[in-house]
Amino acid sequence: MHKSAKFALIDLGSSTVKLNVYEYETKNVFHKDVRTVNMAENFYPKLLITEEAMERVLAVLKRYKKYLEGEKIENIKLVTTGIARKAKNSDLLVKKIKEILNWNLEIISGEKEAELFYLGVTNDFSPDLRLAAINVGGGSTEVTIGTRDSINKRYSFPIGVSKLNEQFLQVDPPTDAMIEEMFSAINEVMEFEDNNEYTPDVLIHTGGELDYMEITKHPLEESFLSPSHPKQITKSKFLEKYNEIKKMPKSRLYEFMPQNPKWMDGAVACTAIALAIADKLGVNLIVPSNKNLNDGLLLKYAEEEISL
């Protein structure tokens, strides 16, 4: 790939599709876009991606293809993770994308996803900090603990935003009883090894959480732990703001993000997972992050040929 070229990374997740277009030489983001598709909707218990979910995915990918063709960007990497790994019909999704868009979809293994995600999130933190990076998806949550330069422990829990929304948050806004049941379910699933050596100093809450906390007016403070993570929040202040957010109807939450309102469907469940993890790990400082799997992919693939 020529050094002056742009290239695109597309991450097809359980809840969203993320497009990032980079300038090859500088690695700067030229264009980014996030669309909510909720591929995990009605996925359980049959472990099948529904026809409706596939159509939503394809509609977004068609939109991206039109944009990329207009920009004459031919170097594209399309990957997917959790739900597609579990789905009994993931081969159908791969086939449809190939037939309709002529793109190859790579289903990334759980181990590779954890490594790439952690690399992208932590690469500019101080090497002596003990870190826990969390990646909350639609059907699962990954927690990776270590330092900037090494991973000490990985956890994957079978609980995510779509699962919690479907099982516990049926009323808008949810009742206190629903919230309590949801937290009980999260805590029942999540178990960490009791190892003081790996107790994190910081919890990095990834996947657009910096944008989310800024637009919802969380009481963020300046952070100097990482150049790409300019803000931080204490767990107590995070909890205080959560107690406001959980009482808001969806119509109010949608007002915070009019360009992609359905993203806010995960606000209550996602924050509950993050708070539960912080409690379990004994972490009091949370760093919200806009970093995600794509940032790890960028670091890995920027020096390689990217082609369909």
pLDDT, one tens digit for every residue, the chain (308 residues): 444 478 899 999 888 899 989 887 776 788 989 898 989 888 888 999 999 999 999 999 999 999 999 999 988 999 998 788 889 999 999 999 999 999 999 998 878 888 888 999 999 999 999 999 999 988 889 899 999 999 999 998 999 998 899 999 999 999 999 999 999 999 999 999 886 677 899 999 998 899 999 999 999 999 999 999 999 999 999 999 999 999 999 999 999 999 889 999 999 999 999 999 999 999 999 999 998 887 888 777 765 654 43
My answer on whether omega of the bond before 45 falls inside 30° of 0, hence cis, is yes
As a whole number of angstroms, the distance between CA 262 and CA 21 comes to 23
Q: Say if residues 294 and 32 touch (Cβ distance below 8 Å).
A: no
Q: Where are the domains of the chain?
A: 6-109+294-301, 111-291
Q: 130 vs 111, 135, 143, 271, CA distance in Å?
A: 20, 17, 13, 22
Q: Which fold has domain 111-291?
A: Nucleotidyltransferase; domain 5 (3.30.420)
Tell me the three state secondary structure of residue 133: strand
As a whole number of angstroms, the distance between CA 283 and CA 131 comes to 10
* Cβ neighbourhood burial of 211 (10 Å; 0-12, 13-18, 19+): middle
As a whole number of angstroms, the distance between CA 244 and CA 43 comes to 30
As a whole number of angstroms, the distance between CA 114 and CA 146 comes to 12
Per-residue confidence (pLDDT) for residue 295, from 0 to 100: 85
What architecture (CATH level 2) is domain 6-109+294-301?
2-Layer Sandwich (3.30)
- Residues paired with 79 in a beta bridge: 11, 106
Q: Which two tokens stand for residue 196?
A: 């003081």
Distance of CA 130 to the CA centre of its chain: 21
- The number of beta carbons lying within 10 Å of the beta carbon of residue 52 is 11
Per-residue confidence (pLDDT) for residue 4, from 0 to 100: 43
Span 130-155, pLDDT tens digits: 999 999 988 889 899 999 999 999 99
Q: CB neighbours of 48 closer than 8 A, spacing ≥ 6?
A: 87, 88, 89
Q: Same CATH fold, 111-291 and 6-109+294-301?
A: yes
- Model confidence, pTM: 0.79
Nearest CA to 105 out of 83, 88, 81, 87 is that of 81
Tell me the CA end-to-end span of the chain in Å, nearest whole number: 12
Per-residue confidence (pLDDT) for residue 45, from 0 to 100: 86
Query: Hey, what amino acid is at 296?
Result: G
Nearest CA to 161 out of 297, 290, 44, 288 is that of 44
Per-residue confidence (pLDDT) for residue 1, from 0 to 100: 43
* Cβ neighbourhood burial of 58 (10 Å; 0-12, 13-18, 19+): middle
